[in-house]
Amino acid sequence: MLDLKWIRENVDRVREGVKAKGVSIDFEILLDLDAKRRSRIREVEELKAKRNLANDEISKLKQSGKPPTDLIDQIKTTSQNIKEIDADVGGLTDKIDQILYTIPNIPHDSVAIAKGTSGNKVVRTWGEVKSHNPYLKDHLEIMTALGWLSMDKGSKITGTAFPFYQGFGARLERALINFMVDFHTKRNGYTEVWPPALVNRASMTGTGQLPKLEEDMYRLEKDDLFLIPTAEVPITNLLRDEIVKEEDLPIRYVGYSPCFRREAGSYGKDTRGLSRVHQFDKVELVKFVKPENSLEELELLVGNAESILQALELPYRVLLLGSGDMSFASSKCYDLEVWAPATQKWFEVSSCSTFGDFQARRANIRFRRKETNKPEYVHTLNGSGVAFARAVLCLIENFQTPEGKVNFPKVLLPYLS
């Protein structure tokens, strides 16, 4: 979340930043609640100081053998007033927090301010973007014919948009998991973790999925647990409520997980085959860094995701997102999109973001700087390294042969044998 003091001192900037993300927040209500709470806190501090003086006076009277009856009555009254004001402060704090949790992170100064996708900018491309060829078939047609994928069986077992991989299709998913985790640990310097696929409400709140995006999540009501939409949630919360050493930063984790998204509000968008599903596999990259290194680490993170696509020989482009297309928690974000020649579309397979201290404040993740010996909030980053469903879609369409088979890139062959 954003720091309340910083909002108070920079309200015009915050108001514009929130507006740039298409969100409307009544800051007058927030600032009024803040002013009331600060006023009540001053009152209670004065009363506590008064009570402390009275306690000292009582001690003196007792030592001199004089009855402190009047002061004791005064302290009882003061203590009751303190209790009432503390309760009022607690209520005001709850109201303030309810608003703060709905305020999105504001865009970094380098991000274009624009509505929707109009501010997105292609910053580079890589590989050969193939034009449509008469023999090309889309991924669903090929994988169904080869017996690698059945959307019908997934629908029968669970529901629409739950893919069922079988035979070589299942092996392909497993191969991609091993290849990507190996690549990021051995070449890109990440530490492997294997997180839970269920998280609690505090974890979802810490990374910013709650309260805003609850309708997009699958929830187990009896236990109030959520199926993770991305491994970002459990991996980031690995350090929740902790203070790490400055010399340990940056901390880089890579983890595989299944991901679950209801995709509420996505109706009408392309949903053929693997283009938009409710369950998919993904390898996630998460970083904890010092604030002064945040933007540099973002560029390195994007490069790590790109290295996977280059190794897989997939043509892609990198987009710097404008404010209107960024996530709730992101401060600056790049999307990586891969070209699918049969479908003739770009598909997002990775989104790499820096969140500044937005998530760290929500999850209370800090480091102790040696120079000051004071705790500061880390900056968090994450990115897909990469998401499988659409990566599989693009692999199938880019490496298909005129005979309806698929010749996979060399780097995957050891994992497929």
Asked whether residue 198 falls in the same domain as residue 274, the answer is yes
What integer pLDDT is reported at residue 311 of this predicted model?
98
What integer pLDDT is reported at residue 129 of this predicted model?
93
Q: Which of 240, 252, 249, 244 is nearest to 361 (CA)?
A: 240
Asked whether residue 19 falls in the same domain as residue 144, the answer is no
Q: Reduce the DSSP state of residue 368 to 3 states and report it.
A: strand
The DSSP string of 65-102 is: T---HHHHHHHHHHHHHHHHHHHHHHHHHHHHHHHHTT
Place 378 in a pLDDT band, splitting at 50, 70 and 90.
very high
pLDDT in tens, 57-103: 777 777 777 776 777 778 888 899 999 999 999 999 999 999 999 99
pLDDT in tens, 21-52: 999 999 999 999 999 999 999 999 999 998 88
Total domains present in the chain: 2
- What is the residue range of 26's domain? 4-100
| Percent of the chain predicted with pLDDT > 70 | 98
pLDDT in tens, 194-224: 999 999 999 999 999 999 999 999 999 999 9
What integer pLDDT is reported at residue 269 of this predicted model?
60
* CATH number of the domain encompassing residue 80: 1.10.287.40
- pLDDT mean across residues, the chain: 95
Judge whether 115 lies within some domain.
Answer: no
Asked whether residue 79 falls in the same domain as residue 126, the answer is no
CA dihedral 406, 412, 413, 417 (to 10 degrees): -100
Residue 212 burial (C-beta neighbours within 10 Å; 0-12, 13-18, 19+): middle
What integer pLDDT is reported at residue 74 of this predicted model?
83
Asked whether residue 233 falls in the same domain as residue 92, the answer is no
Which amino acid does the sequence have at 258? P
Asked whether residue 307 falls in the same domain as residue 374, the answer is yes
Q: Answer yes or no: is pLDDT of 344 > 90.
A: yes
pLDDT in tens, 235-292: 999 999 999 999 999 999 999 999 999 975 555 567 899 999 999 999 999 999 999 9
Judge whether 114 lies within some domain.
Answer: no
Asked whether residue 74 falls in the same domain as residue 182, the answer is no
* CATH number of the domain encompassing residue 381: 3.30.930.10
Asked whether residue 91 falls in the same domain as residue 13, the answer is yes
Q: Answer yes or no: is pLDDT of 190 > 90.
A: yes
What integer pLDDT is reported at residue 266 of this predicted model?
55
